[in-house]
Amino acid sequence: MEDLIAKGKRIINSQQNSVLSATSLIMVMIVVSMVLGLIRQRVLASYFTPDSLSLFFAAFRLPDAIFQVLVFGTFSSAFIPVFTKTLKEGEAKAWLLAGKVVSIGLAILLFAVAIVGFGAVKIYSVIAPGYGVAGTAEIAFLARILFAAQGFFVISYVLTGVLESLRRFLIPALAPIFYNLGIILGTVILTPYLGLTAPAVGVVIGAFAHFIIQYPLSRKLGFRFTFDLRPDDGVKKIGQLALPRVIDLAFDQIGKSAELFLSSIISQASYTYYTFANSLQLLPVTLFGTSLAKAVLPMLSSVEGDWKEYRKILLAAIYQAIFFTLPLSAALIALRIPVVRLIYGTKIFDWEATIQTGTILSVFAIATVSQTLMSVLARAFFALHDTKTPVLISFIGLAILVVGDFILVKGFHLEVWALAASFAVSTIVEAIILLILIDKKVGGIISSKLIIHVLKILGATTISGGAMFFILKIFDKSVWVKRLSFLSGLEVTKTFPFERFMLDTRYTGNVIILTVMTFLVGALIYTLVSLLFKIEEARYFIRVVRRIMVKRTLPPLPPKEQEPITPVTDTQVQ
C-alpha cells in the first residue's frame, strides 16, 4: 500500500516533458471531461423539465459573462507567458506575481459581483423578458448563488497557469472532471431537498473542487496567498496582453445576451433546447479545433520570417481542420435525432423537445468547420504578433449575429433554430474574412489547389453523410411503420423480408446499436473515399495512427523551451 501511494505521488508530482505525453494526457482528460459533461446534462434533463432548466441556464448569463471577461479572458491569453518569463527571473518573484494576480482578481470580482448582484433582477428583466416576474426573481436568486463559484475560479485558474508553466498537466487536466462531478452529485443528492437550487449549489461545489484539487501541489511548488493589490510590472504586462482578448469576450457577451433575450420570448423552454444543442455541437470543435489551434501557434511562431514554411504549416492546419470536422458536421446532421435521444431523452424530455433540440443541432453543425477554422486562423495572426485583426473581425461577426437574430426571430417569427442559423452565418463570414486577410499578409493561401482540396473533402463528406442518412432510413423500424422510408414504395420490399433486419428504436439498446453502426459505416466510407480521392490527410492520419501504435514516445522538449499546453476546461454548465 505504501509503494502504491508513493507511486501515485510520483505520477502526480512528475513533469510531462514530451509533447506526446503531455498532449496525450490532455486529450484523454478532455474526452473524459466531455463524457462527464454529457452525463451532467443528462442528469439535469432527468430531474428538471426544459421549462425549469431554462431558468437555471438563464441564471448563468451574468456569472458566465464575468467569468469569461475577468477570468478566462485573462488566463487564456496572458498569465502563462508572463508567469513563465518571470519564473526565469526568480521563483520568489514569480510566486509573488501569482499571489498578486489572485488578490487583484478577487478584488475586481467582488466589485463586479456587488454591482451586478444587487441589480440582478432588473438586469435579467431586460435581457430575459419572456420569463415573467416570478421567473426573473428565481433566475436572479440562482445567479447570486452561481456568483460564488467565480471566486473559486479566479484562484483556480491562477493555479492552473502555475502548474502548466511548470509542466504539471495531470492535475489541471483533472480539475474540470471534478467540476462536473460536483454538479452531478449536487444535483442527484440535493434536488429532493432544494429543487432547482440544487444544481446551482452543485456548481459552487464543483468550482471549489476545481480549486482544491490543484491547491496542494501548487502550494508544494511554492504558491502562497498574498494580499497585495499593488500592480507591479508583471501584473501590468498581463493586463496589456489580456486587453484585446478581454474586449473581444466582452463584446461576445452581447451576442449571448441577445440569444437569451430572443429565446425567452419564443418560449420558456427554448433556451434549454438551444443550450443542449450547442453543448453537442461544441464537442468536435473542442476536440479538434482547440487542439489544432494550440498546436499551430508555436509552430507558426517558430518560423517567423520564413514565409514558405509558414504557408506550409498553416495550409496543413487548414486542411486538417476541414478534413476532421466536416464529416463530423455531416454526422451530427444525419444522426441528430438518435444522438439527442441517447443523451437527453428522459421521461420528462419528450419527443417534442427531442425534435426541437435535434433541429437546432443540425443547424449548429453547419458552423463546426467555420468555428474550427476561426480558431486556427486567429492563431495565424497571433504568430505574426497581430492580436487586433481577429478582434476587429469578431466585431463584424457579432454585428451579423445580433442583427440576424432579431431579423429572423422578431421579423420573420421563426423558431429558436433561427438563432443557430444566424450564429452559423456569422462564423462562416468571420472565417472567410480571416482567410482573405491572412492571404493578403503572407500570400499563397487562397489558390486553386485549396479550392480543389476542399471540394474533394466535401465530396467525400457528402457521400459518407448520404450513406449515414440512408442507413438510418433503412434500418429504423419506426420509419417503415410510418411509411417514411424511401424504399417502402418499391416492389422489392414486398418480397424481401426487410423487417428481419430492422431495429425497433423504441428501445435504447437498439438506438445505440443503430447510431454506432451508422457512424462507423459512415467513417469507413469517408476514409475509403478520401483515399480514393487522394486526400493526403487520410493517408497522413493512417500513418500517424500506425506510428503511435508502434512507437509511443517522442523526443523530450528542450529544457529551455516553455510551451504551455492548456487543457480545455468545461467550466460552464452551458
> Minimal CA–CA distance to 380: which of 317, 332, 433?
317
| Domain-embedded: residue 499 | yes
Q: Which of 219, 250, 281 is the last residue of a domain?
A: 250
Residue 503 lies in a domain: yes
User: What pLDDT band is residue 73 in, cutting at 50, 70 and 90?
Assistant: confident
Alpha carbon distance 217, 551 (integer Å): 31
Q: What domain count does the chain have?
A: 2
Residue 172 clears pLDDT 60, i.e. is over it: yes
| Residue 543 located in a structural domain | yes
Given 225, 250, 275, the domain boundary residue is 250
| 463 vs 507 pLDDT, higher one | 463
503 forms beta bridges with: 476
User: Is 340 inside a domain boundary?
Assistant: no
Domain final residue, candidates 198, 216, 250: 250
Residue scoring higher pLDDT (478 or 515): 515
Task: Tell me what pLDDT residue 554 has.
Answer: 44
Q: Distance between alpha carbon 348 and the CA centroid of its chain, in Å?
A: 26
Half-sphere exposure of residue 214, counting CA atoms within 13 Å on the CB side?
34
Cell numbers representing residue 475 in the block? 434500418
Q: Is residue 34 part of a domain?
A: yes
In this model, does residue 115 exceed pLDDT 70? yes
How many Å apart are CA 549 and CA 379, to the nearest integer?
30
State the maximum Cα–Cα separation within the chain, in Å, rounded to a whole number: 83
Whether pLDDT at 327 is above 70: yes
Average pLDDT over residues 96-107: 92
pLDDT for 510 equals 84
Contact between 318 and 289 under an 8 Å Cβ cutoff? The reply is no
Query: pLDDT tier at 298 (50, 70, 90 boundaries)?
Result: low
Does any domain span residue 329?
no
Assigned domain for 452 exists: no
| DSSP letter, residue 558 | P
Q: Whose grid coordinates read 509511443?
A: 552
- pLDDT band of residue 555 (cuts 50, 70, 90) is very low
- Residues 257-281 have a mean pLDDT of 96
Percent pLDDT > 90 in the chain is: 53
Is the pLDDT assigned to residue 22 strictly greater than 60? no
Q: Are 510 and 504 in contact (CB under 8 A)?
A: yes
Residues 173-219 have pLDDT tens digits of 889 999 999 999 999 999 999 999 999 999 999 999 999 999 999 99
In a domain, 147, yes or no: yes
Question: 51-66 pLDDT, tens per residue?
Answer: 999 999 999 999 999 9
Evaluate if residue 573 carries a pLDDT over 90: no
CB 360 within 8 A of CB 382: no
Owning domain of residue 117: 10-250
